[in-house]
Amino acid sequence: MASPIRILTAVPICDGHDSAINTINLEFIRHGIEVIYLGYHRSVSDIVRAAIQEDVSAIGISSYNGGHIEFFAEVIGLLRKKGADDIKVFGGGGGTITHDDAVIMKRKGVDEVFFAGTSLEEMVRFVHQRYGKSRTKRPRPKSFDQQLAHKLSEIEDAYAKGKRPTRLRDATAWQALNAQRPTSKKKIRNSRGARVIGFTGPGGAGKTTLIDELVLRFLNRSPKGRIAILSHDPSVVGEGALLGDRATMINSQDDRVFMRSMATRGQAGGLSPATQDCLALLADSNFDHVIIETVGTGQEAMPFRKNGIVDLTTLVMNPDYGSRLQLQKIVMLDLAEIVVVNKSDLQRARTAHAEIEQRLEQNRRNQHLVDTVAKRHRDPGVDQLFELISNR
């Protein structure tokens, strides 16, 4: 079984029209396509950086605000400059892009332009026919991030074919490439290299926003440091997935942050079948920290219990989990080193903190409980969490 088609979709800077692209995204995933959605108001550099790190086959741009000829051309130009011209570009803009504009845009390298009235079925058929074939001849990577992205794709492709990946890289060449990366002077805490921090918790708890705030603090504290994020969203075998964590990542749009979105591809427990090998590659790639975020999980999931793939586990909850009885059934409360009550500005937060604190005391372990409001700028709770993660 071949890997699903992966595409990136985005809306240009100064354009907040996302109704059309959201509808198209949903239609794509219904037909087996994995969509990494970057969101709206995105710059050329944001789009190209994400496309290279995610190693997508194509970028779909929805433009309703004008300036499309120049914007599409700049995306294509930067892809070529970065040595990633195997990533193609298509898009549309309802009644904004004229047929004359489309002729110019195709001349500049755009694969296809969809107009108002184009059916969703036609768009899906185009993506399958144009980008459904495996890219056997890849350009020679020009950057560390590009080569790392290709290696991660090799791992996922191997699992898609039902195989555990064999040795995917020449160790000497990889070490030489790693040596070219600037590294911080911070002491490495384990034999693998980067320190791996796992975040799990139910959907809607605010894990992605919380991670983004922690990334901001890391970048400010370590001017030369690098951080990687491995983020998961759900999917089932034979269908696509909406990989939407990048859309809420604001501070992480930075060249010192490498982010990769992964679909679970039918595996239960919040992680992908390829996660462990992808994580091992990232942990051996001169990052100071690697953050791994699971799918929003229920009370039974223990995603980081197997094989000890993380150094520190953080459980993120919101105050509205239900009764005290629900707390007794959440096994991650027994396992997590840090428990975060996010959205602690909500009315029930004080009661939730007291109930969870009592639950953790029963474990008789050195666990930490932190209250945060991740959406709030300079939140002291997030500062406290950052210090805990940095010092453990």
- Which amino acid is it at 230? L
- Would you state the pLDDT for residue 185? 37
- Would you state the pLDDT for residue 305? 67
Is residue 176 predicted with pLDDT exceeding 80? no
**Ordered DSSP codes for 245-289:** GGGG-STT-STTEEEEEEE-TT-SSSS-TTHHHHHHHHHTSS-SE
Are 235 and 383 in a shared domain?
yes
Residue 146 inside a domain? The answer is no
Is residue 35 predicted with pLDDT exceeding 70? yes
Is residue 187 predicted with pLDDT exceeding 60? no
- Would you state the pLDDT for residue 61? 97
Which CATH number does the domain housing residue 287 bear?
Answer: 3.40.50.300
Domain boundary residue, one of 131, 149, 165: 131
- What pLDDT digit, counting tens, does each position of 328-351 carry? 888 889 989 999 999 999 999 999
Q: Mean of the pLDDT values across residues 194-202? A: 92
Residue 218 inside a domain? The answer is yes
- Give dist(CA 148, CA 153) in Å, integer: 9
Residue 300 inside a domain? The answer is yes
- Buried-exposed string 279-289: b where 16+ CB fall within 10 A, e elsewhere: bbbbbbbbbbb
Domain boundary residue, one of 131, 150, 169: 131
Are 369 and 273 in a shared domain?
yes
Total number of domains constituting the chain: 2
Instruction: Tell me what percent of the residues of the chain surpass a pLDDT of 70.
Output: 90
Domain boundary residue, one of 104, 131, 158: 131
Extended beta strands in 166-213, E state = 195-200
Which is it for strands 195-200 and 289-293: parallel, antiparallel or unpaired? parallel
- What pLDDT digit, counting tens, does each position of 293-324 carry? 999 876 556 778 656 789 999 999 999 988 88
Q: In the predicted model, what is the mean pLDDT of the chain?
A: 89
Is residue 86 predicted with pLDDT exceeding 90? yes
